[in-house]
Amino acid sequence: MMHMSGTEHTGHCLCGAVRYRATAAPRWTSYCHCADCRRATGAPVTAYAGFARDAFRFEGLPPARFQSSPGVVRCFCSICGTPLTYEGERWPDEIHLLVGSADRPEDLAPQLHVYTRDGIPWLAIADNLPRYPGTFGEKDVS
């Protein structure tokens, strides 16, 4: 869909026990404004990069896994609690990385917004990126 420059992305949790490495460019990058991501991260908005599953691996301490809703698993560090990834049955061959833990998040700039209908009203967005009320590609009916 979208091509990003750079072929290796690394990062780690706050305490450094869990590390990861992606060996390909992400398929896409996006902000997510949904309430589940907001609660899982404690942040008003999250940013993701979607990597092919076979191009992404954890290193160091294996992360804890939490099924946050049917078909959805969120991984986080069991020591410091840093949220790291999202895996959904709807994207069986992808890992969605929370780019805030990346070593170079500046290389993973979001290219669109999803679930803006769930966004917090006081968060002002000043970019001109495409905005989707639900998931990517869903028509804006507002």
* Among the listed residues 34, 84, 95, 99, the single contact to Zn ion using CB under 5 A: 34
* Among the listed residues 22, 25, 37, 102, the single contact to Zn ion using CB under 5 A: 37
Instruction: Tell me the CB-side half-sphere exposure of residue 49, using CA atoms within 13 A.
Output: 29
Residue 64 touches Zn ion, criterion: CB under 5 A: no
Residue 4 touches Zn ion, criterion: CB under 5 A: no
Interface region with Zn ion, contact rule CB under 5 A, candidates 21-29, 69-77, 98-106, 134-142: 69-77
Q: 32: closest CA among 121, 132, 101, 107?
A: 132
Residue 15 touches Zn ion, criterion: CB under 5 A: yes
Report the nearest approach of Zn ion to the CB of residue 5 (Å): 25
Q: What is the amino acid identity at position 122? A: W
Cβ–Cβ under 8 Å, residues 133 and 115: yes
Nearer to Zn ion, 4 or 61 (CB): 61
Report the nearest approach of Zn ion to the CB of residue 7 (Å): 26
Dihedral of alpha carbons 63, 67, 68, 69, sign:
positive
Dihedral of alpha carbons 141, 91, 71, 45, sign:
negative
Q: 135: closest CA among 99, 76, 100, 86?
A: 86
Report the nearest approach of Zn ion to the CB of residue 115 (Å): 6
Q: Which residues bind Zn ion (CB under 5 A)?
A: 13, 15, 17, 32, 34, 37, 77, 79-80
